[in-house]
């Protein structure tokens, strides 16, 4: 984990928040590369669960909701952790995390447990009084439940169908840590899938498989994923069944995503507390009922950490360490880097023209400093799948080389074929499938110097 944290900091994936003030505990800022990686993860999720499906629609609900939402959802009462305080140093601890009945920091005596609500509280408007208390949402889910009827009425979707949402959630976690794994401000990608009661079991299995496949299709190794069924005693207050998709993070197996069968709990609660019926009229059977909800709930930051961990690799090439991220091209922050072999003006002018053309289609870097070997390694270290090298021959033959990150193999292709060739390679075509006029250029591993 330390290696990853340091690489992420050094190369501009993730910085400690407010770093010049000493950082803010458990808050992180995504830098120029991190913001691209995170955006690509969210886009891949949205494409898979909204764009490519006729039975899903999206939503972007506000973070601050009516305070009664949290009464109805059970969060005011049940979204708590048992907390103890050291009578000597006054540090607070999550009771569940302690193995001994003394302060892990100073060995002092601990108070009895008390329940600590993890929602962030603030005030709406200028007067700080009880009537104006609002909460930052601890999950995006409630925005989808309270908009269920709005979505049915405006989209005319029939069961089974789902709503998807990506957005920030906030939890005043007692213990945070392990980099971006657990923080107090984080992003979720949640699906609420509404089904006819009685069909919930099969839809649960369906979504479990669909979500597992999403991770492996984007490169997470099968052996680093496993399922964990929640025991009856640990189920959340709303859940009939929960299975976690766990990932083998550097600190051990831990939850990446949870799939829950929330039954009719949420729609029933919001009907009761709002006084508005959230029943669904089934035209096929002419019945009214509350749909059951299957909820695949993933963390954007945890997914980002899992994709970083899984893609990280080190190997020795020509006696030197090569560090690289094997990101799937869909997730890589930059897809291509354009590298003129030297800083000579005629070469950089041609390289800049190529960059200008390619960046109409993808995130493309342009790097001009250091030896070509060092520049290849810099791109490997940020997971760029392809480098395009412009050399002196390019000025004569109008051809450039494409160098593949994972194999370091190179082909040479006419500039006129470059865009289409890169498009095919980014979509997974073998490097040695050549465009008209192309040739295999280099198959030996290159040195960094």
Binding positions for ligand GAP, rule: CB under 6 A: 139, 141, 171, 173, 182-183, 186, 188, 190, 255-258, 295, 297-299, 301-302
- What would the two tokens of residue 364 be? 């493309």
Hey, how many other C-beta atoms are within 10 angstroms of the C-beta on 384?
27
Q: How far apart are CA 229 and CA 342, in angstroms?
A: 57
Minimum CB distance to ligand GAP smaller for 151 or for 306: 306
Q: Element (H or E) spanning 205, and its range?
A: helix 200-217
Assign 96 to helix, strand or coil.
helix
DSSP string, 414-431: EHHHHHHHHHHHHTT--T
| Look-up of token digits 């100073």 | 106
Smallest distance, ligand GAP to C-beta of residue 255, A = 5
Smallest distance, ligand GAP to C-beta of residue 339, A = 37
Backbone angles phi, psi at 214, to 5 degrees: -60, -45
Minimum CB distance to ligand GAP smaller for 256 or for 431: 256
Q: How far apart are CA 288 and CA 309, in angstroms?
A: 47
Backbone angles phi, psi at 329, to 5 degrees: -55, -30
Smallest distance, ligand GAP to C-beta of residue 294, A = 12
Q: How far apart are CA 92 and CA 175, in angstroms?
A: 9
Minimum CB distance to ligand GAP smaller for 278 or for 372: 278
Minimum CB distance to ligand GAP smaller for 256 or for 358: 256
Smallest distance, ligand GAP to C-beta of residue 238, A = 8
**Sign of the alpha-carbon torsion through 38, 40, 43, 44:** negative
Smallest distance, ligand GAP to C-beta of residue 180, A = 7
Smallest distance, ligand GAP to C-beta of residue 78, A = 12
Half-sphere exposure at residue 157, Cβ-oriented, CA atoms within 13 angstroms = 21
Minimum CB distance to ligand GAP smaller for 72 or for 431: 72
Minimum CB distance to ligand GAP smaller for 211 or for 378: 211
Chain centroid, CA 429 distance in Å: 26
Cβ-proximal residue to ligand GAP, closest one: 299
Minimum CB distance to ligand GAP smaller for 13 or for 376: 13
Cα angle: 215, vertex 216, 220; to 5 degrees: 80
Minimum CB distance to ligand GAP smaller for 70 or for 376: 70
- Decide if 159 contacts 196 (C-beta within 8 A): yes
Smallest distance, ligand GAP to C-beta of residue 308, A = 14
**Sign of the alpha-carbon torsion through 10, 12, 13, 19:** positive
Smallest distance, ligand GAP to C-beta of residue 257, A = 5
Chain centroid, CA 436 distance in Å: 39
């Amino acid at each position: 984990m330390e290696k990853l944290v340091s690489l992420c900091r050094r190369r501009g994936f993730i910085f400690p928040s407010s770093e010049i003030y000493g950082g803010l505990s458990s808050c992180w800022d995504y830098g120029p590369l991190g913001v691209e990686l995170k955006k690509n993860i969210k886009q891949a999720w949205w494409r898979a669960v909204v764009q490519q499906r006729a039975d899903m629609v999206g939503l972007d609900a506000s973070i601050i909701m009516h305070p009664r939402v949290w009464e109805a959802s059970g969060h005011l009462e049940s979204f708590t952790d048992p907390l103890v305080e050291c009578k000597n140093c006054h540090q607070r601890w999550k009771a569940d995390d302690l193995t001994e009945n003394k302060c892990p920091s100073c060995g002092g005596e601990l108070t009895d447990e008390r329940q600590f609500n993890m929602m962030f509280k603030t005030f709406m408007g200028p007067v700080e009084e009880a009537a104006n208390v609002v909460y930052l949402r601890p999950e995006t889910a409630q925005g989808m439940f309270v908009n269920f009827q709005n979505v049915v009425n405006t989209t005319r979707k029939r069961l089974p169908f789902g709503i998807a949402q990506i957005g920030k959630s906030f939890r005043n976690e007692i213990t945070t840590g392990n980099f971006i794994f657990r923080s107090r401000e984080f992003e979720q990608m949640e699906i609420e899938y509404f089904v006819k009661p009685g069909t919930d079991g099969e839809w649960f299995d369906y979504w479990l498989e669909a979500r597992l496949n999403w991770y492996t299709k984007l490169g997470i190794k099968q052996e680093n994923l496993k399922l964990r069924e929640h025991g009856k005693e640990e189920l959340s207050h709303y859940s009939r069944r929960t299975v976690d998709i766990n990932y083998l993070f550097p600190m051990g197996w831990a939850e990446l995503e949870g799939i829950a069968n929330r039954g009719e709990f949420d729609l029933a609660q919001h009907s009761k507390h709002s006084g508005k019926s959230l029943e669904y009229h089934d035209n096929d059977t002419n019945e009214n009922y509350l749909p059951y909800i299957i909820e695949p709930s993933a963390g954007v930051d945890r997914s980002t950490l899992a994709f970083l961990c899984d893609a990280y690799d080190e190997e020795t090439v020509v006696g030197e360490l090569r560090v690289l991220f094997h990101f799937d091209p869909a997730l890589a922050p930059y897809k291509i880097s354009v590298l003129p072999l030297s800083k000579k003006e005629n070469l950089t002018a041609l390289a800049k023209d190529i960059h200008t053309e390619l960046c109409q289609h993808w995130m493309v870097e342009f790097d001009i400093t250091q030896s070509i070997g060092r520049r290849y390694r810099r791109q490997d270290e940020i997971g760029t799948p392809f480098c395009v090298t412009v050399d002196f021959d390019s000025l004569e033959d109008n051809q450039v080389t494409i160098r593949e990150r994972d194999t370091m193999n190179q082909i040479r292709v006419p500039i006129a074929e470059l865009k289409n060739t890169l498009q095919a390679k980014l979509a997974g075509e073998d490097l040695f499938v050549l465009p008209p006029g192309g040739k295999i250029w280099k198959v030996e591993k290159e040195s960094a110097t």
